[in-house]
Amino acid sequence: MGMTNKLSFGTMLNSLVPISQLNQGKAAKIISSLGPDDVKIIVKNNEPMAAIIPISRFSQLIEAEERIKEK
């Protein structure tokens, strides 16, 4: 499984989530809307602060990191 998809400008804009939405109790809705290749970027004061990704994608990233460390 590879992560070859590239974020277009429109996709990137749609992935931005103001931190205020999390503070307003919308976290569950944001998380449940994630598709297998989706990323949500949490923005605070117009600055990216964190990312929300599906656990399957997180697992892929951890496995890739381990393979790189082994080399």
E runs forming strands in the chain: 16-18, 40-44, 47-52
Q: Is residue 61 part of a domain?
A: yes
- Strands of 16-18's sheet in order across: 16-18, 40-44, 47-52
Q: What is the Cα–Cα distance from 55 to 7, expressed in whole angstroms?
A: 19
Of 51, 39, 56, residue with least CA distance to 1: 56
Q: Is residue 24 part of a domain?
A: yes
Q: Is residue 3 part of a domain?
A: no
Q: What is the Cα–Cα distance from 19 to 30, expressed in whole angstroms?
A: 11
Q: Is residue 23 part of a domain?
A: yes
**pTM for the whole structure:** 0.72
Question: What is the total count of domains within the chain?
Answer: 1
Q: If you average pLDDT over residues 4-21, what whole number do you get?
A: 76
Looking at every residue in the chain, the average pLDDT score rounds to: 86
CATH of the domain at 15: 3.40.1620.10
Q: Which pLDDT belongs to residue 9?
A: 67
Q: Is residue 1 part of a domain?
A: no
Q: If you average pLDDT over residues 22-40, what whole number do you get?
A: 90
Containing domain of residue 37, as a range? 9-70
- The amino acid sitting at 14 is N
Mean pLDDT lowest among 12-16, 31-35, 46-50: 12-16
